[in-house]
Each structure stands twice: as structure tokens, then as C-alpha cells.
A and B are shown apart, each in its own frame.
Chain A
């Protein structure tokens, strides 16, 4: 094949307008054959919109697209599929209740001569595809029963099955454990070596350095530039993404460790965790880490009474907490910032103020009637305290960026009379600027004498923020490092994995 252009895919001057918002503003992009190209930018920079333009889910108002040097127009997902473009989206687009085979072949089923679906052939082909990717997933199993990582492998198999030359991966590593990431890296490289071109979207610099040869940065819907990965440093890239310099990411303050504030003894729940014991002191930040699925979130939700544990005891300030429902834990002074902002933390259709006060309505009620003035005033104070970027307490939560939404939830948690704060993946999917602010908040909390529990999968933040590191493995406490100083990434990994 004679390449008419240096690039297999090229986009010029793409502009996409949503009612009232320019989601993409004159964006350029080019992809070489057999290249892994990282696309980076803060949340809301327009990355997801951009790939949806490539895959035909959205149509751009302006701009041109070239495939192998030829101008193409993509009117819908089917067009993209015909042009050998496939995408693996960030929010699993899997059919959870259907089989793996069906997920792989949906939309391009293998047919018999009689135009009926050839299940036997499809199961066989699915097995072959999965094996090619080095995976042992049973094609007959139901998608919903697989882990997130396995589901992603199925999605990749799906992309290959359509014979895709260009594969787009939207934050594939966001909820993978370290080991699963390695597996994904291996597969991605394998795809590249087979001559496919890959657009890899991620927040993690680790991913980019490991895989990509070039990187394109978007900021506020605009094209910032494209660089060779080898020729650009971490700091420069961050400043390109954020638009300003970020001096210190981990603003850890030195805090005297106070008396014990939270003690967990032998907490167990069948199938999720067993015999979990630890304690947190005033002014201490305890990081709970481990592979995804090791039971960290489940333990914390057990403490909160969201999913009741089968056995075990929890003491707050020396007094035993009878875990019956969430309000008990909150009354005892434990605050919980959930992992999933959209599903667990915020009512997106509501104003910020009502979101902030939802968990603490008692403070504003006399004889069951809510005093809205007092409510809004308090919400305003709290939102300002955590530096939320918003105009009014009546702004809908859905209009804020990820980082600002996270701040609203922090404000919500802070409104109660707290002793211990549990933060579940507080920086997951949050952009670099907001990340730094989250660390600052965490640090402040500790210095004000709260006990802080942080669940995190990101090694740098665990090492940068924690006083104590607790590593979980397969539902049990694998190791506790009472002093985080001197602990290395390797030591944590060793405790987290089967070694």
C-alpha cells in the first residue's frame, strides 16, 4: 500500500459546539501508523468529545478529517467501524447481561449461509481472539461477572474482531490495579507491533512514559501542542496541561500524632474481607492501599454501615460504635467521601447548597421545617472554605468539573461534627490542579487534629501523603507500615501482591 500521507489519521481544525459551550476549538491531531499516541489534558479539556468526533458519535461543526491522506466524513459509529476505527470508552460500554462472545461480536455477528447467527463459530472465534491477547476468559461467561480489567480485554478483542487499524482507548487504566495495568501495557504494545495505531488517553504520566512515542495536549477545549515523549519533561507537560506551574504537589505538614481516635477490631464480611484490624490517631493520615478488589472500599463501607459487616468491632474515641445504619457512623463522627462522585456522592440535578446539606439537614430544621436561609448561608461558607469554583449555591452540581464536584462533596462531609474522615480514592479522575487542592485539604484536616483515612491506588500519593500505610491483599490486612518514611514503592507492591 502506498501511503499518501505520513499519517494514517489526521484531523485539522476540529470545532464542536454544544449549546452554549465550545467543547472543541480548532483542534489538530495526527497519528502515524504503528504508533501509540497519548492524548492528555485535564478533565473537561475535551478529550472525550474529541474521540467521539473521531468515532462518529458526534459530528464536528468545522474541520476536516483525513484517513491515509484521503478526506473522509464520518456520520455515525457505523461509518467509523467501516473505516477500521474502534474505540474503548472510559465508562464501560459493555452489555453486562450478555455473554463475552456476544459482546465481542455485537453489530458484526458471524452469520451462517442462511443469514442466521452462527453461535458455534462466534464462540470459537472469540476464544481464539482472547487467546491471542493472552487471556483465559471463557467466551460463554457473562460480561457482568468479569472484573473491570477482563472486561477491558474483551473490549479490546472486540476492536480487533472488527479488524480495526486505529484503536482509541479512553482512560483504560483508570480503575486497574498495578498488575492489571502491566497486562494492559503488554497487550497495547502487542497491538502496536501488529501494525495498529493507538490513541491512548490517560491521566497517568506513568502510562504515557511507558507506552507512547508522542503526546498531544488539550486544554480548555483548545489544542496546545504535540511533542515527542522523549523530548518533554514531566513539569513542562504539567504546566502545559494546567496552564500554570504547580510548585508542590504534596503539601504534607508535620503533625504530632495525638491519641487514638478510631480503632477497628477483627472486622469481617463473608466474601469481601476478613479479620481487618487497625487504628488511626488524631492528626494521622493512614493510607489504605492494595490492588483494586482487595477489599479496601468494602472495609470502609462496613465501618460506615453502608454494607454491614458480619462481625468485628469499631471504636470511635474509645466508645464502641453499634453499626446499624449510616447515620450511626455519622453521629459518631465519621465522615465518608465515596469513591464514585456521580453515583454515590452527588445529586447531579440539585444545586450545590442542597447537596452540601443533605447529610446534615438536622442542623437547619426546627420542628421538621427546613430553614432555607440558614442552609444556604452555611453551604456558602463551606463551599468558599474549600475554594469551589462556582457562582452560586444554586448552581447545578452537574455543571461543575470533576475536581470542583469533589470539593462539593468534601464540603458536605465537613459540615458534620467530625472526628475521622475516610476519603475513598479522593483524586481519582480529578485533574492535576484539583488534585493538589485535595492534598492541601487532606493536610489541613490532619493538622486540625482529625484522623484521616485515605484509600488510594496511586503509589506517589500514598508515599507523599501518608503517615501510616496499610496494605490489603485479598480481603486481609497484608502489612501495616507504622511509619511511612523510608517505605518504597517496591515494599508496598510486595505486600500487595502474591510474592
Chain B
């Protein structure tokens, strides 16, 4: 089927010249998913500008990010998990558990800083447990395993806190949420930007990232190529757990209290953000730039709709529809092109050559 390439230069001794220069293709450049996200972001901004008076206010726009930073923190490591062709449904429960343990540790008289370190350790441990189970039982799908650890982690949080809440954290803890650099840019946003840069660097420039891509495309090929697939899987899941704990600390500062039922349903929002960003749940595809853009698209869409007093139900519908449309677009041309009705329709207008 593959037509042989004819243009190739062949030297006299029969060797062929293969180019190692990347040719810039404008078409390819413009066909990147990220442009679509930029368009969406522009659309959202224009929409908000028209509908909301005084929308273009730098201070407010920066403050708005604080509403979705808790999810944004986990989107990047989640993108890594999806990149491997796996999924982690337990991140929200991990958030709840590490926040709970932080609260309890603080209540028990540990200094806040130590309580935070413990929370981070708990988050990393949760992720590590997911990773270990998946590595030891490769027959099990990550969806099922993290589905059950999701129940377990949340369950442990419930055992510890029951229906109580912990509050009265020191003032500097609240600062994690409220602090602003120069009175405008939230400190937590700076953290997210640095995090995004770190993960982008990790995925796109390092050995580790390349190997993750390889595993997402084919774990077998990666394994046959000497990639330590088990180690990578554990690291990626541990990372997801660790950053879930980071998000939990932020969230506890935002709510200035901790309960066992915080962050319920976050996992699906986080996955949705990554997927809208062009990260395929089948693995092996996606970029951190896309993930970052999609966080902004969904985040500001919510913010704008919220300011317009649109009910949260409308927001749910819009986000759901956006997700489906976004994923459907790349498939649309192909599937419609093959459909019979489309062919017939086309046949009516386009004469056969």
C-alpha cells in the first residue's frame, strides 16, 4: 500500500541521503491543537468583555486564577499519567486524605510546617501505592485500581475526621491563598507557572519525558528498548500523589479549614482540563502548553459565567459540551467524510474527475 518514495537522492554506491534537518511546515504549524485553544481563549475573553462591565481589570483577572489554582496544580502531573495511557481517579481522594492528616497533625500539636511536610509525604505515599499496585499487577487496569483506592483514601479520611472539621491554622497558612506579589499577582499563581515550566521541561526536553511518551505509545516497545517502565510508572503516580497533596494544602488555605469531604469530584474536572488541552487518554500524545491553555480556557469561562450570575448548572453544561466538541473536532472530518450520507451529498455537488 505504501507508495515507495521516489524523490530520494541516491548516491552512486547505493546509499541514500536522509535529511536530518527539520523543515518548517506552515501548515503543520497552524494545525496544532494549541491554536484551537488560543481561539477558544480569545472567544471566552471577548464574550466576557462584552457581557461583563469592567472585566478588563488586571487585578481582578489575576485574582480570578485563585479559583482554579487548586485544580491546575494537579492537571500537569495528571497529564503525565494520561501520557502513559493510564488514568488516576484517586487524586481528589488523595487531596482529602493528605489535607485531613495535615489538619490532624496540626491539631495534635505538630508545628504547621511539619504538618505540611507530613501531608506531602502522605500524598506521595498514596500515589506510590497506586503505582506499586499497578506495577505488581499489570493485568489490572489503572481505572479499576485507582477507582478502588479512591474509595479507600477517602474512606480513611472519613475514619480520621468523621464529620468534624479542623480549623484555626496559623495566619501564614492562609497566606498561601491570600498572598499577592506587588498586590496584584497571587503568589500561588507564580507557583503554578513555575510548576508548568518544570513539567514542560521534564516532558519535552528530558530523557524521562521522552521515555514517558514512548511508554504511552507502546509499553512493550519501551520495555524492549530497555526503558525501566515499572520505575517510570511508579515515579509518575507518586508525582501525581505529591502534587495532589500540594493542591490540598492550597485548598485548605483557601477554605481555611479541612474536612474529609473536600475536593469531591475534582478528579473528573482535572482530567477534563488535561484532555481539553490535547492530552490523549489513550496515551502518547499531548503537550504541557495545551494543558496550560485549557486550564485558562475553562477557568476564565467559569469565572465569566459566574460573574454573569449564570447558575452553576449552565457552567456544567457548557464545560461538558466544550469537552466533547473539543475532542470531536479532530475526529469529525474523518468520520463524516466516511459516512454514506456525506458521500452522497458530496456526489450531488462534486462531479467525478
Contacts and interface: CB of A to CB of B under 8 A. Distances in A.
B221 A345 contact: yes
Nearest to A61: B352
B20 A380 contact: yes
A384 B22 contact: no
B210 A369 contact: no
A350 to B, nearest CB: 7
Main secondary structure of the interface of B (DSSP, over half): loop
A388 B16 contact: yes
B207 interface: yes
Interface in B13-27: 14-23
Contacts of A330: 226
Interface centre among A23, A306, A352, A358 (most CB of B within 10 A): A358
Nearest to B3: A21
- Interface-central residue, B7, B22, B228, by most chain A CB under 10 Å: B22
B22 A394 contact: yes
Interface in B207-242: 207-208, 210-211, 214, 217-218, 220-228
B2 interface: yes
A387 interface: yes
A220 B3 CA distance: 7
Contacts of A46: 1
A387 B17 CA distance: 9
A220 B205 CA distance: 40
A387 B221 contact: no
Interface in A350-367: 350, 352-354, 358-359, 361-362, 365
A432 to B, nearest CB: 14
Interface residues of A, number: 55
Nearest to A394: B22
Contacts of A354: 210
Interface in B275-326: 284
Given A46-B1, A343-B218, A401-B2, A326 B18 contact: no
Nearest to A378: B20
Given A347-B218, A389-B8, A391-B7, A306 B224 contact: yes
A370 B210 contact: yes
Nearest to A413: B225
B108 interface: no
A376 interface: yes
Given A330-B226, A380-B18, A391-B18, A347 B2 contact: no
A343 B19 contact: no
B159 interface: no
Given A354-B210, A369-B206, A391-B7, A23 B1 contact: yes
Contacts of B211: 358, 361
Contacts, number: 125
B207 A327 contact: no
A346 interface: yes
A391 B214 contact: no
B5 interface: yes
Contacts of A399: 2
Contact of B221 (A220, A221, A347, A390): A347
A383 interface: yes
B1 A220 contact: no
B18 A347 contact: no
B2 A369 contact: no
A377 interface: yes
Contacts of B1: 18, 21, 23, 44, 46, 48-49, 221
A347 B214 contact: yes
A368 interface: yes
Contacts of A348: 217
Contact of A392 (B3, B20, B208, B210): B20
A71 interface: no
A401 B227 CA distance: 26
A146 interface: no
Interface in B77-136: none
Given A384-B15, A384-B18, A389-B16, A350 B217 contact: yes
Given A22-B3, A370-B205, A306 B223 contact: yes
Given A346-B221, A394-B22, A327 B210 contact: no
A349 interface: yes
Interface of A: 18, 21-23, 44, 46, 48-49, 220-221, 306, 325-327, 330, 336, 338, 343-350, 352-354, 358-359, 361-362, 365, 368-370, 376-377, 379-380, 383-385, 387-394, 399-401, 412
CB-based closest 3 A-B pairs: A359-B225, A380-B20, A392-B19
12 contacts: A21-B3, A325-B228, A326-B223, A347-B218, A361-B210, A361-B211, A368-B206, A376-B22, A384-B18, A389-B8, A392-B19, A394-B23
Given A343-B221, A380-B19, A394-B22, 20 more contacts: A18-B1, A44-B1, A46-B1, A306-B224, A325-B228, A327-B227, A336-B224, A343-B218, A344-B221, A354-B210, A358-B211, A358-B227, A359-B225, A361-B211, A368-B208, A370-B206, A377-B20, A380-B20, A391-B8, A391-B18
